[in-house]
Amino acid sequence: MAMGKTSDWDEKFDIPGCVRFMEGVGDLPMLSVTTEWSSAEIYLQGAHITHFQKKNEPPLLFLSQVSRFAEGQPIRGGIPIILPWFGSREGQQVAHGFARTKTWELKEILPAKDGSVSLRFRMPESGEDAGFPPFSAEYLVTLRDTLSLRLTVTNKSADRELAFEDCLHTYFNVGDINAVSITGLTGVSYLDKVENFARKTETADVIKISSEVDRVYLDTTGTVEIQDDKLRRKIRVEKENSASTVVWNPWIAKAQQLPDFGNEEYQTMVCVESGNVGKNGVKLAPGQAASLSVKLSSAAF
């Protein structure tokens, strides 16, 4: 589906009361999805989920009020898809890969008898894939009272190994970063990007954020929980086939340096990202596939 043909999509995929197509911010094509329990907004650029909210709860995801919404520019907030590399890469001007700036194709919408709705996206191939063996990426998003995500990468090459990194770079909305506690990473080794990638071990049972945090936790497959005392909510991040967890908050100075991030917005967000980065990157033999799955849930307390 090409950009700018919203009416064509309506005819093929619109489900009254459930899925609606519209022009989003910056006239970028967007889907609005409603279930019995929740609502969501997904941009085709990057197959980027910018909004998910359960009924009678605050939004689960943070979205910067000054994010760029322009073709080919990454959206700041929500859940960017990081693929096929994480962070900076030699010879590439763009950080975090090209998946988050491509316009993905919506392949199908699958309403289920239990009231949930699944949407399947596929990343189109393009010249930007040069340097990698041919591969495909599909993304299955399932909405109900939880948000479930599955990113599947397949090596299409007949004779070359595919090596890549992937990450679902989730920005969570919190009431006050000073009232947030993160658990589930005790004893895990991590790279501290704030201190020049120094390798450390997490000794705290509860992680509190009071300065810039940018950590890549390695060899960890466990569930992480975010307790938000201000919003009286606990967020649960469950994952499969993910060996890395990234925790990020830019804090004051870094927030002021980011042109698409408000100076004070660090106070109401935290990123807890699930993926496979650095030494945990994925290698696929010809014809092999790998799926990264994440389930996000929340409950008041």
The conformation of residue 160, written as its DSSP 8-state character, comes to: -
User: Hey, what amino acid is at 89?
Assistant: R
What would the two tokens of residue 235 be?
């967020």
| Burial of 59 from C-beta contacts in 10 A (0-12 / 13-18 / 19+) | middle
φ, ψ dihedrals at 256, nearest 5°: -70, -20
At position 186, the amino acid (one-letter code) is T
Catalytic residue chosen out of the listed positions 165, 202, 265, 273: 273
Question: If we measure between CA atoms, which residue out of 88, 153, 164 comes closest to residue 125?
Answer: 153
Cα–Cα separations (whole angstroms), residue 17 to 20, 32, 33, 114: 8, 10, 8, 16
* CA end-to-end span of the chain: 43
Annotated active-site residue 169? The verdict is yes
Question: Which residue from 284, 290, 282, 204 is spatially nearest to 247, judged by alpha carbons?
Answer: 204
Catalytic option among 51, 96, 169, 202: 169
Dist. CA 255–CA 110, nearest whole Å: 39
Residue with tokens 């995500």: 149
Judged on CB neighbours under 10 Å (0-12, 13-18, 19+), 166 is buried
273 in active site: yes
Mind giving me the DSSP string for 53-83? EETTS--SB-B-TT----TTS--SBSBPEE-
Q: Any idea which residues carry the catalytic annotation?
A: 169, 273
